[in-house]
Copies of this chain bind each other. A is one copy, B any other.
Amino acid sequence: MKKMLDLVVVENNKLNQNYCLLKLSTPDKSVLPEMYPGQFVEIRVVDSPTTFLRRPISVNFVDKLKNELWLLVQVVGDGTRKMSEYKTGTIVNLLLPLGNQFSTPEKHQQELLLVGGGVGTAPMLYLGAILKESGFNPKFLLGARSSKDLLQLDDFAQYGQVYTTTEDGSHGQKGFVTNHSILENIKFDRVYTCGPKPMMMAVANYAHKNQIECEVSLENTMACGFGVCLCCVEDTKHNGNVCVCTEGPVFNIKDLKWIS
């Protein structure tokens, strides 16, 4: 059941010039609603004349012990800038949880790769944590422009082996995630990915060629986030235009028209 909730900012860490990690909790210590990897929230950004609609942000992590929801925010415009300026104690209104979720691998699918690029690494952390909790040993492949844009590496390392690429070679292998040697060296059973569309397409192509099951998480622009405006659609193979906010954001690439 989705809810409209006021949460309170308990921490806001500036990770680098463009990214912050917002940690939210309930103001009354009530337990946060259950959220699953791949789901997202819609934040209302008040106090800005240019931010009329809510902003969709992925669930980056749910710390059940501390009753915290983590959001990894990349500043790209006024809405995300406001979020990056939230102080501890700020009350934020959210709709949550929204969207579907990444699917759980079959027991025999042991080689799992989680590929994240840019802010698309956000949902991969929680997905990795839950996979680990379920007895899997996921591997992470994270790409960024340069080392300072590789975020939460220590957090990722708790849940599996981390491989990285940077465009300038300042961390891990130089180049794009899809050039990483691990893709050649290991035969994966399943790939999950989120990031810039060209990256996801390249990953999807790799998976398709190698007959690996692959799920991608889309970031189509949204007006509502819960299936009523029909603005966020993706054209699918069998069902035509479907809402990314309710049928997604996670799609199996075999349902998308990305690969012909």
A48 to B46, CA, bound (A): 8
User: Which of chain B's residues have a CB closer than 8 A to the CB of A47?
Assistant: 47-49
Residue of B nearest to A47 (CB): B47
The interface bits of chain A over 59-97 (1 if a CB of B lies within 8 angstroms of the residue's CB, else 0) are: 000000000000000000000000000000000000000
Count, chain A residues at interface, CB 8 A: 6
Contact partners of A48 in chain B: CB under 8 A: 47, 49
Instruction: Answer whether residue A52 sits at the interface, using C-beta atoms and an 8 A cutoff.
Output: yes
- Chain B residues, Cβ within 8 Å of A52: 49
Number of copies of this chain that the complex holds: 2
Instruction: Enumerate chain B residues within 8 angstroms of A51, measured Cβ to Cβ.
Output: 49
Whose C-beta in chain B lies nearest to the C-beta of A51? B49
**Per-residue interface assignment for chain A, residues 33 to 60, with 1 indicating a CB less than 8 Å from any chain B CB and 0 otherwise:** 0000000000000111101100000000
Name which of A46, A48, A49, A52 has the most chain B CB atoms within 10 A of its CB: A49
CB distance from A46 to the nearest CB of B (A): 8
Q: In the complex the two chains form, what is the Cα distance from A51 to B50 in whole Å?
A: 12
Q: Kindly state the separation between the CA atoms of A47 and B46 in the bound complex, as whole angstroms.
A: 8
Q: How far is the CB of A32 from chain B (nearest CB, A)?
A: 28
**Residue on B nearest A85 in the bound complex, by CB:** B47
**In the docked arrangement, what's the CA distance between A48 and B52, Å?**
11
A49 to B79, CA, bound (A): 13
Q: In whole Å, how far is A82's beta carbon from the nearest beta carbon of chain B?
A: 8
Residue of B nearest to A50 (CB): B49
Residues of chain B within 8 A (CB-CB) of A49 are: 46-49, 51-52
Instruction: Give the docked Cα–Cα distance between A49 and B153 (Å).
Output: 38
**What are the 8 A-B residue pairs with the smallest beta carbon separation, nearest first?**
A47-B47, A49-B49, A47-B48, A48-B49, A49-B52, A46-B49, A49-B51, A47-B49
Provide 8 A-B residue pairs closer than 8 Å at the C-beta atoms, listed in order of the A residue. Answer: A46-B49, A47-B47, A47-B48, A47-B49, A48-B49, A49-B49, A49-B51, A49-B52
- Besides A47-B47, A47-B48, A48-B49, 5 other A-B contacts (C-beta < 8 A): A46-B49, A47-B49, A49-B49, A49-B51, A49-B52
